[in-house]
Amino acid sequence: MTSPISLKCVRAEFPALAEKTFLDAACVSLAPRRAIDGVVDFCQRAMLCPERSSTLHHLAMDQARSRARTEAARLLEYDEDEIALVESTT
């Protein structure tokens, strides 16, 4: 069983909450740190293609997507084979 996540830890994911209370999530909301970190990492990989070839680049992206499936399954309490992630989906 995983330990409960504290409200303080969750709030730390949203730096803007250190100075304000944000209640308007109906349109554009605050992005959590880990989402920004993920986007930055993806953009760095897309820009630099650090692997030796485009084939290895695509394999690395597939591996990252696989990790996302694992995390989504854990979060939603489903089996990984019940989670579908497709390219060009946010």
* Mean of pLDDT over the chain: 84
Q: What is the pLDDT of residue 1?
A: 57
Model pTM?
0.62
Is the model's pLDDT at 22 over the cut of 60? yes
Residue 90 lies inside a defined structural domain of this protein? no
Residue 87 lies inside a defined structural domain of this protein? no
Domain containing 51 equals 7-82
The CA-atom distances, in angstroms, between 72 and each of 18, 67, 81, 83 are 27, 9, 11, 7
Confidence of residue 25 (pLDDT cuts 50, 70, 90): low
Confidence of residue 3 (pLDDT cuts 50, 70, 90): low
The CA-atom distances, in angstroms, between 51 and each of 14, 44, 48, 58 are 32, 12, 9, 9
What's the rounded mean pLDDT across residues 44-71?
Answer: 88
Q: From the centroid of its chain, how far is CA 69?
A: 10
DSSP state of 82: G
Residue 23 lies inside a defined structural domain of this protein? yes
Q: What is the pLDDT of residue 62?
A: 84
Residue 30 lies inside a defined structural domain of this protein? yes
Q: State how many domains the chain has.
A: 1
